[in-house]
Amino acid sequence: MFDIDRKIIIFIYIIIHMYKHISAVLSGELFDIVINSLNSKYGRLKIISSITHGIFSPLSKYIIELENIMADTFDDKSSKRTVRLQFLKECLENDTTQLLQLFFQYLLCWLNGGGDKPSNTFYRPGVYNFSQYKQKLIVTSSGGNIITIFAKLLKNIAESTSYDRLTFTNKEIIEELHRRYFSSGSREELYQMFKIQLAVLNPMIKIISENNFSDFDYGLLPNIAMNRTSKEIADIMQEIEGADEDITGTQAGFVLLRVKTNINYTKLSEDNDIKPSVLKENCVEAFKKHVIDQTLLNRLIPQLINQADLDDPRLRPMSESAPDTYANCRKYIKLLLDKKDLITKATRNNINTIVNYFKENLLTIAPHIYTTADDLELEGIIFYINYNVYHLNEAINKSTIYDSISHSHPPERVWRDFKSLNSITESEYLPKIVAHIINMFLNYPDDTSQSRVSGKSLTKKILDKIFNNILEQYGKTDSVSKRSNELDFLTEGIKPTMGKSKIYPVPSNFIRKIQSTIDEIRRLNQSTPGYPSGINIILNVIETESYSPPRPTKKPRNENASSSSDALTGGKNKIKRKKSRKPRKTRRYRKTSNYRKTSNFRKTRRYRKTRKYRKTSN
């Protein structure tokens, strides 16, 4: 009898326990890739930088990018962006020898995969090279990690006591700069030049280097016109400027594909009987009554909502006695903020797992290169970004999709498919290339070592590591463990599991235009080997305001100003451009009144059709 009662009590306890818990998904960011349009402010900057510099992006590009973001956006990350911008500006202002600009560009080259390997060589973990890619489309790294890595490397130079104590990446970049630009002196002398120059920047370097690493962002861009003269590249830029008039007013925006982790777990219910959709209706009602504006309404998603929105006085009662009309809207914003916090925690766990994975394995992956004297945490994230970008570019170059455009699209014309959101989504190859990139990121066999574990991709190994970390955290109740882990809420409920991979297209006006890409991603998921468990793929086509740059006013050229090309040559190969005495031979010029006044015009058929010619001939 006692045993029966005991079983009943246990059964009731389980039912109550399950009732108090609801199912949830732990979804952190793992991989983002974006295609920006040329007629958007940020897209134009990225595309022109890629065309003119390839993967050697200059410091000035990131300064302009941060200035643009800060002019248009104010959110929870604004204070961090302000400090980053100040840091980059101080680097540029105090870079009297152009050492920092060169260092930054070579760091970017390596983070972007290092370019094509020398002929008759193949990928070897940790073996550095600095070149461009010859292909017409490239994947590049982007986001806040670039500036954080830059600051941490500078801190390593500033605080090291000798050249030999530098971390490996610093040695490789300084060695390359010495070989190309400063061969007259020794590496140690170059190292001392860096230390002298960094003395002024030490306070800012320390602040930025304390930042945590962020999520991993990438972009698909048209590549530099390889083997082209400076005049030919200038002609391409002139054509882009000429296209500004054609694309002004056309829809701008970007295509975003995001891979996120998908871990199922349970959490305590919050005893909230009101559905989120009902809570949101209260916010829509506030908009209809002009209490809140369209901007706040558009931010009602976890990625865009801010703490300031919850404190918005427009959603609070005018006085203590007034009715709390928009309490449900505030509850909805609080719900979004909780989701945002959960995404942040899951993303932080993903980043920490990746950094620790390589910190623990670098000495095994490349024992002939890395040593315990290196900053293995910093080298680990540099290795991971380089590995991803190089292999994704290699995948583009070897894909049948890319091969089909190699003859129909000359390198100097590939940018045309990036002109607007319409041209991107209607392109015969751009969205398909991104689908191919996602597949390669998830399934490319791990070649960081000779021993491959059952053909698993590096991403699959990292997903297993992320999930194992979650399982280790599950059930922990000791306060020290909880404080030291982002996932301190995974202490009870049903054991977490890896969810089945799913594809989520976000509804929008343009999403139907990439339906063939969505179908291709789903086909790859259902075929062998398919996508690994534990991930979701989100596809989004986002519209933004069209941007047309202001026409520059003519100013006298400053002979002392250094151009972006000078940063690649150390300022040694400045070319004095002679003013051409002949008129420029372009179509745009031949349509102007200035051209019609020249003797060249009077030799053409167009001139002989004019009234002036007929009068002179009579």
How confident is the model over 392-404, as a mean pLDDT?
79
From CA 418, how far away is CA 144, in angstroms rounded? 24
Domain assignment present for 608: yes
Looking at residues 514-528, what average pLDDT do you find? Answer: 89
Region 484-498: mean pLDDT is: 66
- Contact between residue 217 and residue 143 where contact means Cβ atoms under 8 Å apart: yes
Show the DSSP H helices in 23-137 as ranges. Answer: 41-53, 59-72, 78-93, 99-111
Determine, yes or no, domain membership for 38.
no
Averaging pLDDT over each range in 90-104, 120-134, 496-510, 585-599, which range is the top one?
Answer: 90-104
Q: How far apart are the first and last CA of the chain?
A: 127
The predicted pLDDT at position 300 comes to 87
**Residues present in the chain in total:** 618
Which pairs from 102-105 meet CB under 8 Å and 24+ separation? 102/177, 102/181, 102/567, 102/568, 102/570, 103/173, 103/174, 103/177, 103/194, 104/58, 104/59, 104/150, 105/53, 105/56, 105/57, 105/58, 105/59, 105/567, 105/568
CA 376 remoteness from chain centre? 23
Q: Please determine, for residue 265, whether its predicted confidence score (pLDDT) is greater than 70.
A: yes
Q: Tell me the two tokens of residue 71.
A: 């002019």
Q: Is pLDDT above 70 for 405?
A: no
Which pair of tokens denotes residue 292?
């809140």
Segment 157-173, tens digit of pLDDT:
999 999 999 999 999 99
Overall number of domains in the chain: 1
Phi, psi at 70, each rounded to 5°: -70, -30
Percent above pLDDT 90 for the chain: 41
Instruction: For residue 386, give the nearest of 607, 71, 111, 9 by alpha carbon.
Output: 111
Structure tokens at 107: 């760091």
pLDDT score, position 100 = 95
Strands 29-36 and 252-261: antiparallel
Residue 567 has pLDDT above 50, yes or no: no
- Residue 597 located in a structural domain: yes
- Report if residue 613 sits inside a domain: yes
Q: Do 463 and 28 touch, CB atoms closer than 8 A?
A: no
pLDDT of residue 561: 38
Reported as a single tens digit per residue, the pLDDT across 13-71 is 444 444 455 677 889 999 999 999 998 989 999 999 998 899 999 999 999 999 999 88
599 belongs to a structural domain:
yes
- The Cα–Cα gap between 82 and 78 comes to 6
pLDDT level of residue 594 (50, 70, 90 thresholds): low
Identify the residue with better confidence: 250 or 213.
213
Per-residue pLDDT averaged across 64-84, rounded? 88
Amino acid occupying residue 307: Q
For residue 610, tell me if it sits in a domain: yes
User: In this predicted structure, what is the pLDDT of residue 245?
Assistant: 64
For residue 151, tell me if it sits in a domain. no
Q: Are 36 and 42 in contact, with CB atoms under 8 Å apart?
A: yes
Task: Give yes or no for a contact between 132 and 226, defined as CB atoms under 8 angstroms apart.
Answer: yes
Task: Check whether 560 has a pLDDT greater than 80.
Answer: no
At 468-484, the pLDDT tens digits run 888 887 766 554 444 44
CA-CA distance, 94 to 198, in Å (whole number)? 9
- The residue ranking higher by pLDDT, 131 or 13, is 131
Range of the domain at 613: 589-617
The string of pLDDT tens digits covering residues 348-380 is 999 999 999 998 888 888 888 888 878 899 999
**CA pair distance 153, 61, nearest whole angstrom:** 20
Among the ranges given (71-85, 200-214, 577-591), the one the predictor scored with the smallest mean pLDDT = 577-591
- Mean pLDDT over all residues of the chain? 81
Residue 605 resides in a domain? yes
pLDDT at residue 529 in the model: 84
Least confident of 318-332, 390-404, 420-434, 551-565: 551-565
